[in-house]
Amino acid sequence: RDAKGQYLFDLLCHHLNLLEKDYFGIRFVDPDKQRHWLEFTKSVVKQLRSQPPFTMCFRVKFYPADPAALKEEITRYLVFLQIKRDLYHGRLLCKTSDAALLAAYILQAEIGDYDSGKHPEGYSSKFQFFPKHSEKLERKIAEIHKTELSGQTPATSELNFLRKAQTLETYGVDPHPCKDVSGNAAFLAFTPFGFVVLQGNKRVHFIKWNEVTKLKFEGKTFYLYVSQKEEKKIILTYFAPTPEACKHLWKCGIENQAFYKLEKSSQVRTVSSSNLFFKGSRFRYSGRVAKEVMESSAKIKREPPEIHRAGMVPSRSCPSITHGPRLSSVPRTRRRAVHISIMEGLESLRDSAHSTPVRSSSHGDTFLPHVRSSRADSNERVAVIADEAYSPADSVLPTPVAEHSLELMLLSRQINGATCSIEEEKESDASTPNAAEVEALGGELRALCQGHGRPEEEQVNKFVLSVLRLLLVTMGLLFVLLLLLIILTESDLDIAFFRDIRQTPEFEQFHYQYFCPLRRWFACKIRSVVSLLIDT
């Protein structure tokens, strides 16, 4: 019960035979469905407010700027698994040609060379690489796998996969849902190269780490202070769904900035989230920085550890990175209880808000899938990705999103500033919704908007809170001064500090001319009130 997060993390890395462990972390979801990174300097039990069984996930926390430069193959393999998961969950945006190549690398790494005897026609359709995709894309994946990747070992395919993924604009993106000052939905993320803002499938802001001067949050409001060339200063303001989500966003920003920007871990400082008159938090990044990690990795000298690669799960309903619990070491009489316990934990994780599918109808010709395929052996409707558009807005997002935030994705609009498209291929036209659908959508949006406060009201509430905090601080200071004055004048404490003050001419004048008459006046008033009460 007293074990800290560092102990659990070291135990896990020892089990995986992992030395380049600074890129990874442990993530969990609290009872309010808010994600957290396990802090290594604090007790594990105190951080987990939920009831057993505890479900935690091993994840890449800091994506390497150059994954091909990682020293050991085991590290590259674990990063490969994470990026493959990002691709499946729609966090790694790419055009169709890049998506086909990445999926082909995954096939080559996990099932080997194409074999006509083992791989019949349509074999690539049995595997799930993306949230949704079309038969045309599946054929393209199979074609690349057959003709271009033959002979590549799993390690080579994984390395080529990492090199390709590294070139994409959304590499390393872990999106946090927010709204801008205009109420438009956006996703904030931190990458190895800087801070990005995504809106829909477009990157509307990219700020390098050396341009970020300060990160701050107050309640649900997140501030990013930017200093660009020619002494141009910018403050970006965004609103998170909850104060807890905003604090998590702020912590992630502090850690990413320290890891990628600083030269040494000795330069890390404790950061305050706010100023004097707003309730805030203090946080300090406790790990090594990227430059130190690379220098430490270069000194690793050992035989490469054996890697046990897990094959893909050939199922459309199960992601390829999901593997069942290993229960072989559990006594037969306890396996059922352990299995049920693990499944309950996984259910709680799957039901968390960070795994809620987000559907967007904004820019319908971009987000909505245009091609749908039907399976003869399935009555379910299979969602597919458009050949020319691939967006995370229709996929599973890894960050908790309130229900109203999901609906507000329908109101997404382009914010101020230059935009650059993540996709380079031409988008096909979508069918226009009919009048009934438009009217129904408008009714939902109107009903939704009625339940949300205006920005002006939020600003007024913040001003009132700041005034109240100012009054409380002022009253506290006055009370402390009054208490100190009473101690100086009425007590007999023979302390050098008090004695020096009492002997000053100014204090003696104040004591005899002002304090003593004021004390006699109060004593007289108190006696008169007491006598009045006695008479009555």
40 against 327, higher pLDDT: 40
**Is pLDDT larger for residue 135 or for residue 411?**
135
Higher-pLDDT residue of 459, 165? 165
From residue 264, alpha-carbon distances to 270, 293, 294, 308 in Å are: 15, 10, 12, 34
Query: Rounded to an integer, what distance in angstroms lies between the CA atom of residue 131 and that of residue 398?
Result: 13
Q: Determine the Cα–Cα distance for residues 185 and 178; give it in Å rounded to an integer.
A: 6
Tokens standing for 178? Answer: 């927010």
Is it the case that residue 359 has pLDDT exceeding 70? no
The model's confidence at residue 509, banded by pLDDT at 50, 70 and 90, is: confident
Other Cβ atoms within 10 Å of 501 Cβ, number: 13
The SS3 assignment for 382 reads strand
Per cent of the chain over pLDDT 70 is 71
Q: Which residues contact 26 (CB under 8 A, 6 or more apart)?
A: 5, 8, 9, 12, 37, 38, 56, 57, 58, 59
User: What is the per-residue pLDDT across 71-126, written as a single tens digit (0 to 9) for each?
Assistant: 999 999 999 999 999 999 988 988 899 999 999 999 999 889 988 888 888 888 88
Residue 65, pLDDT > 90, answer yes
Q: What pLDDT score does 186 carry?
A: 93
Identify the helix (H) or strand (E) that includes residue 442.
helix 435-450
Confidence check: pLDDT of 398 > 70 = no
The DSSP bridge partners found for residue 272 are 282
**How many other C-beta atoms are found inside a 10 Å radius of the C-beta of residue 530?**
10
* 393 or 524, greater pLDDT: 524
Evaluate if residue 352 carries a pLDDT over 60: no
The answer, yes or no, to whether residue 406 has pLDDT greater than 50, is no
Asked if the model's pLDDT at residue 353 lies above 90, the reply is no
Lookup: tokens for 124: 């690539």
pLDDT at 178 over 80: yes
At 274-319, the pLDDT tens digits run: 655 555 678 888 889 999 999 999 999 998 888 888 765 443 333 3
Mean pLDDT, all residues of the chain? 74
Class of domain 176-299: mainly beta
Q: What DSSP letter does each residue of 38-64 carry, written as one string? A: PPTTSBHHHH--SPSSP-EEEEESS--
Q: What is the pLDDT of residue 200?
A: 81
Q: Sorting pLDDT into bands at 50, 70 and 90, what band is 250?
A: very high
Task: Show Cβ contacts of residue 179 under 8 Å, excluding neighbours closer than 6 positions.
Answer: 185, 186, 238, 239, 405, 408
Which helix (H) or strand (E) segment is 466 a member of? helix 455-490
User: How far is 330 from 337, CA to CA, in rounded Å?
Assistant: 10
175: tokens are 């999106």
pLDDT band at 456 (very low <50, low <70, confident <90, very high): low
- Burial (CB count <10 Å: 0-12, 13-18, 19+), residue 37: middle
3-class secondary structure, 521: helix
| pLDDT value of position 387 | 32
Q: Are 287 and 259 in contact (CB under 8 A)?
A: yes
> Looking at per-residue confidence, does 136 or 449 come out higher?
136
On the 0-12 / 13-18 / 19+ scale of CB atoms within 10 A, 338 is middle
Name the residue with higher pLDDT: 447 or 405: 447
pLDDT at 326 exceeding the cut of 60: no
Q: Tell me, what's the pLDDT at 233?
A: 85
User: Which pLDDT score is estimated for 358?
Assistant: 30
Q: Mean of the pLDDT values across residues 220-235?
A: 85
Distance CA 495, CA 81 (A): 67
Spatial distance between the Cα atoms of 338 and 366, rounded to a whole number of angstroms: 45
| Mean pLDDT confidence for 13-24 | 94
Please indicate whether residue 213 or residue 330 has the higher confidence score (pLDDT). Answer: 213
CA distance 398 to 400: 7
For residue 337, list its beta bridge partners. Answer: none
Q: Is the model's pLDDT at 420 over the cut of 90?
A: no
Quickly state the pLDDT bin for 333 (edges 50, 70, 90): very low
Tokens of 296: 């430490």
Q: Which residue has the higher pLDDT, 378 or 482?
A: 482
State the amino acid at position 229 in one-letter form: K
User: What's the CA gap between 104 and 140, in Å, rounded?
Assistant: 9
Confidence (pTM): 0.62
Q: What is the fold of 5-166?
A: Acyl-CoA Binding Protein (1.20.80)
In this prediction, residue 221 carries a pLDDT of 92
For residue 293, what pLDDT is reported? Answer: 93
User: Any idea what DSSP says for residue 360?
Assistant: -
Specify which of 15-29, 357-371, 418-432 reaches the highest per-range mean pLDDT.
15-29
Q: What is the pLDDT of residue 144?
A: 94
**C-alpha distances in Å from residue 166, one per residue of 68, 111, 158, 163:** 9, 23, 12, 5
Query: Token pair of 271, please?
Result: 């950061």
- For the ranges 208-217, 311-320, 348-357, the lowest mean pLDDT is seen at 348-357
pLDDT for 463: 82
Task: Note the pLDDT of residue 502.
Answer: 76
The dihedral over CA atoms of 158, 163, 167, 170, expressed in degrees to the nearest 10, equals 30
**What average pLDDT does range 394-421 have in this prediction?**
35
So what's the pLDDT on residue 307? 86
Half-sphere exposure of 224 (CA within 13 A, CB side): 30
**The two structure tokens encoding residue 53:** 């069984």
pLDDT at 245: 94
pLDDT at residue 313, as a whole number: 47
Question: Confidence class of residue 461 from pLDDT cuts 50, 70 and 90?
Answer: confident
Whole-number pLDDT of residue 279: 54
41 contacts 270 by C-beta, under 8 angstroms: no
- Close Cβ partners of 57 (under 8 Å, ≥ 6 residues apart): 26, 27, 28, 349
